[in-house]
């Protein structure tokens, strides 16, 4: 057996999830796996007496694998919490095929057997963006994102104005609804909707994508992920910074945001038959003929 201690994380408050978790936990126990379930999902697992119920953070030192059941959003949240602990994650999608949760629920047990029993899998390393908010030379906020860091206008509808520098070289001034700093993983999310490029997951780059810029000459920019990026808010306006669309922080006039590659990479496990371009074709309908 390749993984002996496995934790299960699910989409919170999902009634559909409980049966899937029970089935998966029971199946893993029959294989001889020690199973741990995140108590944030639910604490009602009386029919699984041998399962450990609690907080994932209490077990990260002994876990060999985390299985996420839900969608890409659930996996994004798990990734930010696990990246510093080098625990690989595999994603089971409850609904449609996801970009990261690429195993369909009806194939769950078969796919898990291939991974856990037979070791038939590949590990993909995904980069994350680290962002620091500096206010009056003091660090006031720090977070990481697997998909993207988005800086955008807040409750007031006016555009925001900012400067961007890369490796201490001034690059641009911009007036727009905001800007997206996306990883290759996040290039198929908000960044794609805003006109950004699709980046292969193994590309060592980040994209900088404007959101509805005032000037039509502003275009997406791709930079090496070793670059040190600085965002300076140069006009007083309601502005917010978002991390994977799940965490938010209010910026103030004069704030600086420093962005760089997170020192750790997120490990995601795929079955051997996983193909990134197949996922693109499926999600983006590239296989459909134009009539």
The model's pTM is 0.91
How many C-alpha atoms does 68 have within 13 Å on its Cβ side? 28
147-159 per-position pLDDT tens digit: 999 999 987 778 9
What does the DSSP assignment read for 147-212?
SEEEEEE-SS-SPEEEEEEETTEEEEEEEESEEEEE-TGGGGTHHHHTTPPP--TT--EEEEEEES
73 Cα distance to chain centroid: 7
Report the interhelical angle of 15-30 vs 108-116 (nearest 10°): 40
Q: What are the structural domain ranges in the chain?
A: 5-126+265-284, 129-261
In the set 38, 72, 244, 255, the catalytic residue is 72
Please state, in angstroms and rounded to a whole number, the distance separating the CA atoms of residues 195 and 16: 35
Res. 273 pLDDT band, cuts 50 70 90: confident
Q: State residue 2's pLDDT score.
A: 81
Q: CB-based contacts of 284: which residues, under 8 Å, 6+ apart?
A: none
Q: What pLDDT does 81 receive? A: 87
Query: Residue 132 forms beta bridges with which residues?
Result: 142, 258
72 catalytically annotated: yes
pLDDT at 102: 82
The pLDDT value recorded for residue 12 is 62
Q: Which CATH architecture fits 5-126+265-284?
A: 3-Layer(aba) Sandwich (3.40)
**Contact predicate 228/258, CB 8 Å:** yes
Indicate the pLDDT class of residue 125, thresholds 50, 70 and 90: very high
According to DSSP, the residues that pair with 172 across neighbouring strands are: 164
Report residue 90 CA to chain centroid gap: 13
- The correct CATH number of 129-261 out of 2.60.40.420, 3.40.50.720, 3.50.50.60, 2.60.200.30 is 2.60.200.30
């Amino acid at each position: 057996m390749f993984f002996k201690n496995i934790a299960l994380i699910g989409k919170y408050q999902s009634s559909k999830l409980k049966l899937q978790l029970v089935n998966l936990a029971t199946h893993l126990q029959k294989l001889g796996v020690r199973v741990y379930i995140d108590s944030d999902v639910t604490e009602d697992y009386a029919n699984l007496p041998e399962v450990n119920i609690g907080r994932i953070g209490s077990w990260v030192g002994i876990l060999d694998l985390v299985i996420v059941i839900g969608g890409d959003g659930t996996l994004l949240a798990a990734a930010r919490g696990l990246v510093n602990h080098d625990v690989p994650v595999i994603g089971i999608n409850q609904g449609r095929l996801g970009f990261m949760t690429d195993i369909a629920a009806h194939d769950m047990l078969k796919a898990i057997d291939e991974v856990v029993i037979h070791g038939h899998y590949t590990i993909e390393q995904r980069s994350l963006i680290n962002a620091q908010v500096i206010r009056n030379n003091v660090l006031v906020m720090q977070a990481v994102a697997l998909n993207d860091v988005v800086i955008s206008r807040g409750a007031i509808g006016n555009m925001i104005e900012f400067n961007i520098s890369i490796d201490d070289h001034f690059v641009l001034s911009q007036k727009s609804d905001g800007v997206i700093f996306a990883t290759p993983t996040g290039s198929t999310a908000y960044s794609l909707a805003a006109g950004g490029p699709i980046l292969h997951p193994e590309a060592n780059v980040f994209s900088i994508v404007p959101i509805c810029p005032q000037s039509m000459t502003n275009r997406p920019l791709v930079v090496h992920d070793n670059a040190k990026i600085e965002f300076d808010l140069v006009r007083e306006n309601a502005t917010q910074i978002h991390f994977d669309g799940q965490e938010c922080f209010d910026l103030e006039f004069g704030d600086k945001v420093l962005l760089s590659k997170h020192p750790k990479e997120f490990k995601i496990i795929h079955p051997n038959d996983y193909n990134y371009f197949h996922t693109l074709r499926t999600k983006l309908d590239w296989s459909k003929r134009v009539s």
